[in-house]
Structure 1
Amino acid sequence: MPSVTRELQIGSPGRQWPFSRGLVAESLLNAGATPDEAAAVARRVEAELRASRRGAVSAVQLKALTVEVTRDVGGRAMAAAVEQQTAAYEDLMVIAKKGELPFSRGVLARSLEDTGLLGREAYAVASRIDIQLRQQGVKALSVAEIDDLTERTLQEMYGEQLKLTYRFLRQNRGKLGVMGSSGDAPEPFSKGILSQSLLAAGVPPDSARKVARVTQRQLRGAEDRLVERRIIRERVEQLLEAEVGPDVAARYRLLQVIRHPPRPLVILLGGVSGTGKSYLAAEIAYRLGIARVISTDSIREVMRSMVSPALLPTLHASTFTAWQALSDPNEVTPEHPSTEVLLLGFREQVQQVSVGLDAVVRRSIEEGMSVVMEGVHLVPGYLSARHGAIVIPMLITLPDQSEHRRHFESRDKQTTQSRPLHRYMRYFEEIRAMQDDLEQLARRLDVPILDSLSLDESADQAVDVVMRRILTELTPEERVRLLGNEELSLEQTDLTKVGEEMQR
């Protein structure tokens, strides 16, 4: 423990502190001196200060004396190193919005503890930063510069995740952070997102808001600013069991796996024009927390811009008029095709567009991103399961012809006739024939069919389909890791009944 001479004061008249032989020795050690050399210089500096009988010296005067003694004890090179650095007894100033403050290893260490480091580990990082700055002779630096140096030091000592965790804390001061198990940066806790996931699990709105509110209050009452997603899930499940019962709690647990799946989800939502695929795809993506929604029409448009109509005429037609491109130019084209000719043109276009769709799916898997794809070109059987992803096909239909017509009329008003109603009405029977064919394919290949007229009902069905598929796709190891040691069955989530209804 360094000795302290109370009669000697270091600093200016406005701010002084007791002389410490230990700080002098620390400065020598930072400059590369051996412990014996550092101790010898510190003792001699103290002796000379006592002999001079001075009550106070400035940090500059102490530095000059230390350099002089070091030159005598350790040579010119060591003295130059001591002179170049910022000594341990000199203030290292931090420039903040409220003015300048001396750098404090203790303050930095306390903020580092928020990242999950133990006290001694946090102080070791802060000390390393302090030594590095002093060895470089830094006299002052900004808060941002300290944060950047701290990030680099954390990455060198502990890796990328701790660096990202510290960055989250500095950019979201005062906010709760949620940490996953994948090594990514923490995310801000959101009561709104939690409520959204509870609603998607079938929790009544009032109960969802209450559980989210109580969860937020409990987390804010804790000392930690970062909390693992697993801990949040466990707290929410306990509240749900008390509020709405164990079945809904089990559904919520599974939904969290869907939001952070072990492999990317590729949800394929097929259906003919006018069935509400776009709205349903957006709703499914919202409920499942999937950011990427892609329409097959957009893929087709990109392909059209790259391939001329002369080369692929069916690609440049609508799905229900692609058959016209197959007609003999020397013969009169009928007003309406036979079902066989209609489906021949439709499937040829589907085959062409599937090339682009397959590339999009492959890219999503490579990026580890889940995606919801919607469009008439997502015909059951054309896009097969892919390694590294969980591919979930579905088909949306409108059994009632009158309701199907009303969908076209409503869309005509909402899109200000950019998709003319008369054109769809002219080929309405062809569109219905295509739906019949898609439905037969779906039933033959065991692809779930969504045929509710309500957007909410269809979205509920779709989420249940995804939950069922996730349960069957998880490996035993993934089940234990993601769902806990307790086996989660279809009966626990009330999905068995849903599955039976989907097959009717």
Structure 2
Amino acid sequence: MSSTDDEIKVETKSFITVEGSGYKYRFSRGLLAHSLQLRGLPLDEAYRVAKKVQTVLKSKGIETIKEDDLREYVKTLAVHFFGEEIATNYNLIEKWHGSSVPIIILISGAKGTGTAKIGELIAQKLAIPTIVSTSIVAKILRKMISPELAPELHAKSYLAFEKLRPIYSILYDKVLVGYEEHSRFVAEAVEALVKRALDEGISMVVRGEHLLPRFMSSEFIKHPNVIYVTLRTKDEERHRSRYCGYFEIERMKEKQGNFPEIRKIHDYLIEEAKNRKLTIIDSDNTQDTIIKLNELILERIEMIFSENGENTTPLIDFDISDIHS
């Protein structure tokens, strides 16, 4: 056996390095496709664009590419294949992810309106890793504040009226007074949490029934980096079905009995949002809700960059003939 036969041929696969601001990473077709999917492309089309990008870069012998250049090239392909809107959204979100601009999304709504599901889906779509449930905040506060000091906090929001202390309120409905007193501590704690997140440049989604604007400062709610929405389920029977459907059959009758209080809180939150001219999004159809919320978020991100004098249009021209190569 000759020495040539003994040699083991090792094929070294070349890879493309993407350079960001102070960091580097290896180009991944799968990650790019996933990113495009989150921006609104169907999965098969997202892989089509990602594969085309990889093919062109390799054919040009590119071993290193700046992140901004890669983003603009992807946008050029996306415009050609899918139109300006999707391409612009991709460019805008990628620019935001590459910045230190925090976005806080507050999703208010009564139980059964879909705050948990909508919060999870929009966080996934925008790749926001932090989701805060106001129910968890309430649970933490119960460990810190005794029932003697805040009995309403230690009851369920829709049954807090059963624990009401003698207090003054402009409301005449005991269910709503109880709900207010239950939510007061949580809303104030959420505002403090979000202000800290803004200071540290952390994006997050906060969702739940305790986001009552009455107990949050208008400066906070109208902060340019804070997006506050209230979910509304117009169809009462659909709302009832959603709320009761969260529970096992043996608990369903009990929850059915509490639904009038839940619906009353729902209507109160909607009225509060209207009075304060805050955004209300119908949540009867989950897909439509996500589309509307996503549009609102994109508009806000674009506004922030525009006010900061930053351009969100392409900086570099790529040869469109590459698409057909």
Aligned equivalent of 1:458, options 269, 289, 292: 289
Give % identity: 28
The residue that corresponds to 2:320 in the other structure is none
Which of 110, 114, 133 matches 1:272?
110
Aligned length: 298
Deviation at 1:274, TM superposition (A): 1.2
Residue number in structure 2 paired with 1:178: 18
Distance change >3 Å, CA 316–CA 305, structure 1 → 2 = same
Aligned mates of 2:159, 2:92 — CA distance in 1: 43
Of residues 183, 186, 205 in structure 2, which corresponds to 1:350?
A: 183
- Runs (5+) with no aligned partner, structure 1: 1-172, 329-337, 487-504
User: What letter corresponds to residue 377 of structure 1 in structure 2?
Assistant: H
Q: Where does residue 369 of structure 1 map in the other structure?
A: 202
Partner of 2:322: none
Equivalent position SS for 1:268? strand
In structure 2, how many angstroms separate the alpha carbons of the residues matched to 1:300 and 1:208? 41
Q: Secondary structure at the match of 1:320?
A: helix
Aligned partners of 2:229 and 2:279 also within 8 Å: yes
Deviation at 1:207, TM superposition (A): 2.6
Deviates more, 1:297-306 or 1:224-233: 224-233
SS at match of 2:175: helix
Whole-Å separation in 1 of the counterparts to 2:51 and 2:236: 45
Task: Give SS of 1:442's match.
Answer: helix
Asked whether the equivalents of residues 187 and 212 of structure 2 are also in contact (C-alpha less than 8 Å), the reply is: no
CA distance in 2, matches of 1:226, 1:422: 62
Question: 2:69 is paired with a residue of what secondary structure?
Answer: helix
Deviation at 1:221, TM superposition (A): 4.2
Aligned-partner Cα distance in 1 for 2:49–2:80: 10
Match of 2:304 in 1: 473
Cα distance in 2 for residues equivalent to 1:257 and 1:383? 30
Whether 1:319 aligns to 2:161 is: no
User: Does residue 410 of the first structure (1) align with residue 245 of the second (2)?
Assistant: yes
User: How far apart are 1:245 and its partner, in Å?
Assistant: 1.7
8 Å contact 1:262–1:478 — kept in the other structure? no
Q: CA deviation at 1:484?
A: 5.0
Alignment deviations for residues 212-254 of structure 1 (CA, whole Å, 9 cap, x no partner)? 2212333344545443221121111111111122232222222
Contact kept in structure 1, 2:235 and 2:284, CA below 8 Å = no
What secondary structure, in the 3-state scheme, does the structure 1 residue paired with 2:190 have?
A: helix
Report what 1:209 is aligned to: 47
Counterparts in 2 of 1:175 and 1:290: CA distance versus 1, 3 Å:
farther
1:293 paired to 2:131: yes
Shift of 1:291: 0.7
Q: Distance in 1 between matches of 2:204 and 2:33?
A: 22
The alpha-carbon distance between structure 1 residues 238 and 483, as it changes in their structure 2 partners (threshold 3 A), is: closer
What is the Cα deviation at residue 363 of structure 1? 3.1
Q: Confirm or deny: 8 A CA contact 1:258 1:288 kept in the other structure.
A: no
Note the C-alpha offset of 1:356. Answer: 2.1
2 CA distance for matches of 1:178 and 1:388? 34
Structure 2 Cα separation of the partners of residues 177 and 215 of structure 1: 13
Partner of 2:10: none
Unaligned runs of 5+ in 2: 1-12, 317-325
> Deviation of residue 353 (structure 1)?
0.8
In structure 2, how many angstroms separate the alpha carbons of the residues matched to 1:216 and 1:460?
Answer: 30
Is this contact kept in 2: 1:264–1:389, CA < 8 A? no
TM-score (norm 1): 0.54
Change (3 A) 1:450 1:476: closer
Q: Please tell me the root mean square deviation across aligned C-alpha atoms, in Å.
A: 2.8
1:243 to 60, 81, 85: 81
Match of 1:294, SS state, is strand
Q: Write the deviation string for residues 154-203 of structure 1: whole angstroms up to 9, x where unpaired.
A: xxxxxxxxxxxxxxxxxxx965443333x3x3344343443343334333
Instruction: Confirm or deny: 8 A CA contact 2:113 2:283 kept in the other structure.
Output: no
Flag the 1:202–1:321 CA change in 2: closer, same or farther, 3 A: same
Distance, in Å, in 2 between the alignment partners of 1:260 and 1:456 is: 27
The answer on 1:218 being equivalent to 2:56 is: yes
SS of 1:372 mapped into structure 2: strand
Distance in 2 (alpha carbons) for counterparts of 1:380 and 1:197: 34
Aligned to 2:321: none
Mapped to 2, the partners of 1:313 and 1:196 lie a distance apart of 47
1:306 to 2:144 alignment: yes
Matched, 1:424 2:255: yes
Task: Give the aligned partner of residue 213 of structure 2.
Answer: 380
2:238 counterpart of 1:397: no
Q: Compare CA radii of gyration and give the structure with the larger one.
A: 1
Contact between 1:380 and 1:393, CA under 8 Å: does it hold in 2? no
What letter is aligned with 1:295?
S
Distance between the aligned counterparts of 1:320 and 1:391, measured in 2? 27
Distance 1:448 1:193 in 2: 33
Aligned CA distance change for structure 1 residues 233 and 483 (closer, same or farther; 3 Å): same
For residue 341 of structure 1, the aligned residue among 174, 197, 200 is: 174
* Cα deviation digits, residues 102-150 of structure 1 (max 9, x gap): xxxxxxxxxxxxxxxxxxxxxxxxxxxxxxxxxxxxxxxxxxxxxxxxx
Q: 2: CA distance between counterparts of 1:209 and 1:339?
A: 58
Q: CA deviation at 1:294?
A: 0.8
**CA–CA separation in structure 2 for the residues paired with 1:309 and 1:277:** 27
Find the residue that maps to 1:443 and give its secondary structure.
helix
What's the offset of the Cα at 1:454?
A: 3.0
Q: Alpha-carbon deviations, 1:9-35, whole Å to 9, x = none?
A: xxxxxxxxxxxxxxxxxxxxxxxxxxx
**Cα 1:229–1:271 shift into 2, 3 Å:** same
Q: Is the 8 A contact 1:263 1:388 kept in 2?
A: no
Q: Distance in 2 between matches of 1:198 and 1:381?
A: 39
Instruction: Report the CA distance between 1:206 and its aligned residue.
Output: 3.6
Whether 1:256 aligns to 2:89 is no
Q: Is the 1:350–1:377 Cα contact (8 Å) retained in structure 2?
A: yes
Select 2:29's aligned residue among 191, 201, 214.
191
